[in-house]
Amino acid sequence: MGSINASSPQLTRSAVSAAHELIKEHIHLTPVQTNTTLSTLASTPQTAEALKGTQWEGQTPAYPKIKLFFKCENMQRIGAFKVRGAFHAVKRLIEEQGLEEVQRKGVVTHSSGNHAQGVALAARTFSIPAHIVMPTISTPSKIAGTQSQGAIVHFSGSTAQEREAVVAKIIERTGAILVPPYDHPNIMIGQGTMALEIQAQVDELVRNDPALSAYGGEKGKTLDAVITPCGGGGMLSGNAIALHNTGIKVFSAEPSFQGGDDARRGVEAGARIETVKTLTIADGLRTPLGDWTWKIISDSKYVAGLYSVTEENIKDAMRLVLERMKCFVEPSAVVGLATILYNEDFRKMVEKEAGEEGWNIGVVFSGGNTTIEAITKIFATVPEGVAKRAEGTVGKDGKKEVENVAG
């Protein structure tokens, strides 16, 4: 298979910085937002009722102190972070083979939607033919978005193996160069550029308003951790590379539905899980880790912990973001927030490690490529748990705290 390989860059923070310089003219500097309501909820113990029926039933709920900083990649070009890795990979291809040669061969990739749109945009920018293999179950808006960039869309089954089989046929027929959706250093490093931005943006926010920080911005660093969704692991590994040895911990969040938490389970078992078949509503996270991403994600020096959440947790978090932040996101985007709010293992870890000072946590909203129709379907049944929790929270003194809906 023809693929981007050439002289793969080293997986270092300096490589991520170089990637940022290369692509910044093609991407948006997406905002980092804060929200009083969601930080208050994150810092409030879950109720016994909320924990009923979970593995934490009967346990004393965690009481972490958390301030949240949301990196809004849903406001990125094509509505998702994937454009970062796509532009980096395509520009490196052009450097290595020359624009005319890449234009002659074209590029090909497989994706459920966001990477598809990213590669299609990058290819259109440089007048390169693009073949995109998409599962037939892809969100219609993502298919339409890919086609609108001028790419040729080919349909396949939903598993990685089914997608790759169609890609192989296209390469055999056209000679197109494969731009992998996540499992390549150029993709990983491109995605990691967001971490450089998060770190700098949170520093500036806290410097201008110390009250935004869990500890008033008094520490040497202002960001304690970053949590990202994990599907194939390109974004997670890229962030981990960018923040390695900075003192900022990186965490992973996945859907547990039908084994969608393959990264967590694989790391726990000590072996990469190579196939995943899940129909989680977090459709951008339905892929397994690749060889490259596994090397980073399975190393605790890079990724400090991996966690998972239920479909109901994802729905509850999405409802909060839509209603309280007034922010349009897709289900995959809120898996990190869902982990912070509802996964007691994560919450207990923060409570223990952060202590009374608390943590400032960067939360990546990975994308916003969904539709009103899809959201309506997701919320056809109103979840009771989030409604009760959002009505008001109770502090240690037993007094009800009034939440700032505007954030």
CATH code: domain of residue 150: 3.40.50.1100
Domain that holds residue 72: 13-79+188-390
Across 321-345, average pLDDT: 97
Q: Provide the CA 192 distance to its chain's centre, in angstroms.
A: 11
Dihedral sign (CA 145, 151, 156, 162): negative
What is the per-residue pLDDT for 387? 46
Place of tokens 């990983």: 188
Judge whether 4 lies within some domain: no
Do 281 and 361 reside in the same domain of the chain? yes
Is the pTM higher than 0.85? yes
What is the per-residue pLDDT for 112? 76
Across 329-346, average pLDDT: 98
Place of tokens 């909203």: 365
What is the per-residue pLDDT for 217? 65
**Element (H or E) spanning 256, and its range?**
none
Do 323 and 283 reside in the same domain of the chain? yes
- Residues with catalytic roles: 82, 112
Judge whether 407 lies within some domain: no
Do 325 and 278 reside in the same domain of the chain? yes
Task: State the average pLDDT for the chain.
Answer: 90
Do 166 and 313 reside in the same domain of the chain? no
Taking the C-alpha atoms of residue 219 and residue 340, their distance in angstroms, rounded to an integer, is 22
**Range list of β-strands (E), 201-319:** 225-229, 249-255, 305-309
DSSP code of 325? I
What is the per-residue pLDDT for 99? 96
Across 381-386, average pLDDT: 51
Domain count, the chain: 2
* pLDDT band, very low/low/confident/very high, at 141 (cuts 50, 70, 90): confident
Judge whether 404 lies within some domain: no
Q: What percentage of residues in the chain have a pLDDT greater than 70?
A: 90
- Which residue type is seen at 160? A
Do 176 and 216 reside in the same domain of the chain? no
Do 262 and 369 reside in the same domain of the chain? yes
**Range list of β-strands (E), 259-326:** 305-309
Do 90 and 70 reside in the same domain of the chain? no
Q: In this structure, how many other beta carbons lie within 10 angstroms of the beta carbon of residue 80?
A: 29
pLDDT in tens, 217-267: 666 679 999 999 999 999 999 999 999 999 999 999 999 999 999 999 999
Least confident of 144-158, 262-276, 307-321: 144-158
Do 153 and 196 reside in the same domain of the chain? no
Do 299 and 210 reside in the same domain of the chain? yes
Judge whether 6 lies within some domain: no
- Nearest CA to 67 out of 176, 236, 206 is that of 206
Q: Which residues contact 178 (CB under 8 A, 6 or more apart)?
A: 1, 2, 3, 4, 107, 108, 109, 167, 171
Do 121 and 198 reside in the same domain of the chain? no
- Which residue type is seen at 206? V
Do 323 and 280 reside in the same domain of the chain? yes
Distances from the Cα of 127 to the Cαs of 76, 105, 123, 210, 398, in angstroms? 21, 12, 6, 47, 62
